[in-house]
Amino acid sequence: MAVVQSNYIPWKGYFDLIRSVDAFVLYDDVQYTRRDWRNRNKIKTAQGEHWLTIAVKNRGRYEQLINEVEVSDADWAAQHWKTIEMSYRRAPCFAQMEAPLRALFEQAAKLQHLSSINHLLIAGLCPLLGIHTPLYRSEDLPGADGRNERLIQLCLALGASEYLSGPAASSYMDEAAFAAAGLDVSYMNYAGYPEYPQMYGEFAHALSVIDLLFNTGADAPAFLERRA
């Protein structure tokens, strides 16, 4: 299984991680990080890469948890969809993907909490990528004190035998503690994704997965397969 903070319309590697495990936990009862992927991501436009950012309320609380963060602009979804539509309306698979993606943004517009928005969008994008991994929220599962202890407890709560982590976590992972709990630890490798036909010049990997969907449509799952 894997445990990761929710991101806004994440890149393809995030969804590759989801498809690589039997259970995926959105880890949103931890501290919100500013200028991160929680509330923003990039798409490609004729003018270059462009950030789509959901403005959020900080209420003067920099220690607030991700699942406590609220949206501050009620029109964010309509604005984002307008930018997306202008950027991708000439993409090869826009007609194929417009309806399901527009519907997701219309549903997300009704939500107030960032974590709920991210959960809805991630859950809605997974089937379009051929992914059916169950998604869980960490706040709905038993907790424990300590970074490694909490991750171990989440794994045990879902009956996991292996924990798949992002590569950056290797600096703090206590692999011995996981082993003592009967859990094997491995690290995700994000290298080797094939390029796909992409609009607007030089190819870029680090974009929201919606770029992949609008450019490849039903073929998108093939581009989550990493090559050696």
141-175 pLDDT tens trace: 998 888 899 999 999 999 999 999 998 888 889 99
Q: Are strands 70-71 and 56-57 parallel, antiparallel or unpaired?
A: antiparallel
The pLDDT value recorded for residue 206 is: 96
pTM of the predicted model as reported, rounded to 2 decimal places: 0.96
> How large is the C-alpha radius of gyration of the chain?
18
Which portions of the chain are predicted below pLDDT 70? 59-62, 228
User: Could you tell me the residue range of the domain that residue 80 belongs to?
Assistant: 2-224
Q: What is the DSSP letter of 195?
A: P
The sign of the dihedral angle between the CA atoms of 211, 216, 217, 221 is negative
Number of folded domains in the chain? 1
pLDDT at residue 211, as a whole number: 98
- Give the CA count within 13 Å in the CB-facing half-sphere of 78: 4
pLDDT score at 60: 62
Residue-level pLDDT at 59: 67
- What is the predicted pLDDT for the residue at 148? 93
